[in-house]
Structure 1
Amino acid sequence: MKHAAKWMRSFIFVVLLISVLLTSHSAALASGVMPPATSANLKGIDVSHWQGTIDWKQVKNSGIAFVYAKASQGTTYTDPMFSTNVQGARAAGLPIGAYHYASPSAPYSPDDAKAEAQYFVNVMTNGGMGDFGEIMPVLDLEQPTSTGTLTSDEIASWARVFTDTVKSLTHRHVMVYTGAWFVQQYNDFGGKLSDLPLWIARYGVTQPPAVGGWTEWTAWQYDQDTVPGISGNVDLDYGPTSIDALRGNLTYTVVFKDADGTVLSTKQIGYGSAANPPENPERTGYTLTGWDIDFSNVTSDLVVTAQYKINHYKVVFMDSNGTVLDTQTVAYGSSANAPQTPSKDGYTFLQWDQAFNKITSDLTVKAVYEPKVYTIIFKDYNGSILSDSKVKYNMPITAPAQPSRTGYTFTGWNQKFTNATSDLTITALYKINQYQVIFKNDDGGVLSSQKVNYGAKPLSVKAPVRTGYTFVGWFKSSKDTVPYNLQTPIKSAVVLSARYAKNTAVPGGVKATSAGYSKVKVTWGPVSGAQGYQIFRATTKTGTYSYLATSTSSYTNSGLVTNRAYYYKVRAYRVVNGTKVYSSYSTIVSGTPVLAAPTGLKASRASSTSIKLTWTKGTEASGYELFRATSYKGVYTKVATLTSGSTISNTNTKLSKGKLYYFKIRAYRTVNGKKIYSGYSNSVYLKTY
């Protein structure tokens, strides 16, 4: 941080550094180092009036994620750019916090620390930071005492009083900014500040030294450099990986418990805020009356417990004719007391219609008597009970609602019934429904008409034939794209119409050409609308053709015998409503796999008695045979056999001077121990000199 006393800090730092080097025992090395920064750590800056007017939008766009601005120093100084910096940073959407440059002096006085803390809070409040910043306030502790001398314990106590005072006034944690040199100068503060968040200043290292009892940093001022939007150099800082780790908000734990101690919810609540209670708990037999303590202004950890009162219920004892025999008020879970047993002419008291030994709601308890009754059961066709009733002697029997059975018509009951004189089981009767199934041709003519029982399947109908067309199925509607499945059980009347598709056009331009010593490639012209083509092969033109494959453009038939003729035909198809509609077969074509003849044969004089021959390598050749003649129409004699397919030249020697020679070459391939040959290449000739 840039301040008027920076020269003093630099001077002391140099003196300390020389002293450390001379003793070869750096405090940082003795106590280890803190973690390094990584790419995940946020980057920030700290500013004061020394940076002048700042273009905060440029700063944010450069990748800066947070900023600290100097607010105050001592008890009388306010940074003149503080309010402007706060407004500018917030307008640009940058989280901003404030720092106070400490000015402790001797002799030690806690009141001095409190006064500077109060002044710092006042400056924040009056400078547009009444919420005390998006990130926690900072104590800048780097200036030695201006008068007299303070011990390390006194410096630590001064800082503790300051941070505690700011914390109590703002309800925010307070971070300590200091340099490693300053901590070492004051004997690591005796380790008494290591519980506070640390903003360490240390340049030129990859890991700041572990000093003052701190083992990790919350922020690290690691260098000075230029930042877009700021004139001149500015302090550069690393922060935590999340801005939330810089906020420093004080929170309290509020635990809501049920009456039995069950935790209903646990919430972290900011100072002075209200906690939201959980959904009202329920306790069987009780009514919630509220909570045992107030939680509308949380200033400490709280345990809040639900309060209840027990419920009371009305229990009415009633005779079978509705006469009230007794009324009682009973607490939840308690038992009601039965009144004197009632009586009724012609009946015997049997019991009360329900238990009342543990009351959980309002209850009407009726006397139950035992007359003579009969069981009347109505059953459906499958034995399921439609009704099961108890009917007093000679009382009318009431049938249930007329049942239904899918695919059937209800015709009545299997026996008569009027008044109950005995136990009865009565069963429903049905007759099966029949439906008309009509098969029509596409011209509307009826091909078949059948009456089919519900759930049965219609008899199959021979598929109609139409020249030049393919039958693709029976359809219920002209809009249907999937044929009707004749295995579908009939559940209603159905009219099915035949549908045809015009046969696919025959492929034209079919050709079969050698694609190697064991391959033939079959090609054809595309057919409009075709979705695929089937290729068939025979070994004689009139022989049996076997299916080879389905393709969309061409097909290469491999694994063939060299120099043997094969015959092919192709048919196209397209899919209409799930059915393949084929064309007729194409014209039959033949193709013979052959070994390709060498190409590019050339002759050149190697000497007065030798001629060098070169050619282009054959991709399938195992070797080559070279032939020579002494006249254009003369007899060619084999003069060399070359056993490598990679050979592309040969020199024919011991020739006569000044004589004209003719040459040609053929390739061979060894298949199953037998040589197969290509045709001859073009012939070349050359005269020796």
Structure 2
Amino acid sequence: MNKKYRITAVLLIICLCISLIPESVRAQEPEEVPLEEVKEPERPQETEKLQGSDEAGEVSGDDAAEDVTSDSESSDVKALDAQSGGEVIEPEVTVEDEDPGKGRLRGDVPEEFYGPDGGIRAKATGLQHNSKFAGYNIIEGIDVSKYNGTINWTAVKKSGIDFAFVRTSYRGYGTGKLANDAYAPANMKNAAAAGVRIGAYIFSQAITVEEAQQEADYLLNSVKGYNITMPLVFDFEYFEGGRLAKAKLTNRKRTDICLAFCERIKAAGYTPLVYANKSMLTNDLYASEISSKYLIWLAHYTSASNYTGDYTFWQYTENGKVSGISGVVDKNVWYAKPGEDSMSFGTPGASAVVTTPDVTELSGKASSYDKVKLTWKKIPEATGYAVYRYNSSKGAYEKIKTISSANTVSYTDTGRTMGTTYKYRVKVYKKTESGTVYSKASNTVSVKTDSTMTGKTNATSVVVRKGPSTLKGKLTTLKINTGVTITGISGSWYKISIKTGGKKKTGYIKKSYVTIIRKPTLSVKAAAPDKIKLTWDKISGASGYEIQRYNPSTGKYVKIKTIKKGSTVSYTNSGLTSGLTYKYKMRSYKTVKGKKIYSYYCPAKSAKTN
């Protein structure tokens, strides 16, 4: 057979053999071995049992179970839903997802904790202490949170650690909700049992004084039942992209937030402590104002801090090693004057309890288009009152006035916008030796300013324009003392409703050509068989008042008196006939450029002589 044909025959035989192999066998690929699930390590890793843990005093067996707290955080990724077309199911955001501690406390330390003067990750030895602490006792301590995992506190104590600040709570960096650190109860209990002095802290994201006070109350509640022998701490630091960083507060507001927290803690009988890094203390707070009243805990990760302000505690590294803790931990020193190292910062006794003032009752009403008058019930034990108005852009109440007199029970909020609703609350405060204590907020009142206001023209010939500019066309001209209804404001112009040519139109008039003067509220009553007394409220800006009495024989009102002082608020009409009814009305006036500009008349009031 020709060689060419032999080769062709062999190829045909091979193809025939392949076709006889089952398709399922041909399509089979090697089985893929699934990868084990890998979780992102947190700081620190899970604590391993220490060698020699059967020593007396160490936690083992059933007691060890009390020293373990579960962390509900998970880095598991939800699988794709086969029926959703491959769409990723996003987990619901919880306050635990917004824990600001998952930044620095897990090892992601912002640059400001080091500073441009030396980003040296300080070691446990070789620290250089500021000369101002010469002669002080230098006491070693740590601060911990759930990110340090389960801790063997007996081993910690044996390693030379004398105190610990335990994170018990935090505020979410997004929603601002408050939450507890799940590891706190075990840390507080076991640290104290091992002989470690304990304090506690809240990782703040407060952006108002009210939130700082709320955080203080939350921290106080979290330490109930524990023997606190170190300060209670306000951890004030930024979380990148968090609510505190985004709020861009002034130094004054940030400082007031710290002071408000400290006042609340002090009033409860504990010692407050403000924690902040060097950058925050130097650039974002009035640190000397805080340190003049309360203790400072400096965070500056270097072997020798050059911070010149006052501080009592120094957190010098986030990378410390301590027996009993797996991974790294924040390490601190406490500079204690001789004798202070044995002092107790203190769980308060009954004598330290301060009673909060009673809550007041608030009412309010619009007093004009741009004013709201608030009044409240007097509280006997009050030192004063704090007035708050709701800020819708921030979603929080802001203090607008502090009333320092306990006898003052009203306040007028001016400069408001026409036809706008405002919400208010009032808190009672009381000053004590321990600090200022505030009551809970009063009831909320909502007040809408007047949607319109009335005024009178104060010039002999006032041009009404089609728009808020002298370049706009003229609608009409008004004489002096012509009443106008103002419906809005546009810069230096009033927007008014006016009738011209038999039609209702919108016009604009210069503010300087209109006098706003409110009409009085009149009351009348018999004072004697031949006298009736009239009283009214004082009108702001009034030069005087004009009183008229109705004449039944002519069917008209006749002027009977002109009051030439705006401060006068009463008049007695005498020489009347006993047993007759008399009717009165009045208006206020303001002298402008030598001319009297009158308000509208008030509603008529009647009284019968005796």
Q: TM-score, normalised by structure 1?
A: 0.31
Larger radius of gyration: 1
Q: Which has the higher strand share?
A: 1
Q: Which has the higher helix share?
A: 2
Q: TM-score, normalised by structure 2?
A: 0.35
Indicate the structure whose relative CO is greater, using CA pairs within 8 Å and at least 6 residues apart: 2
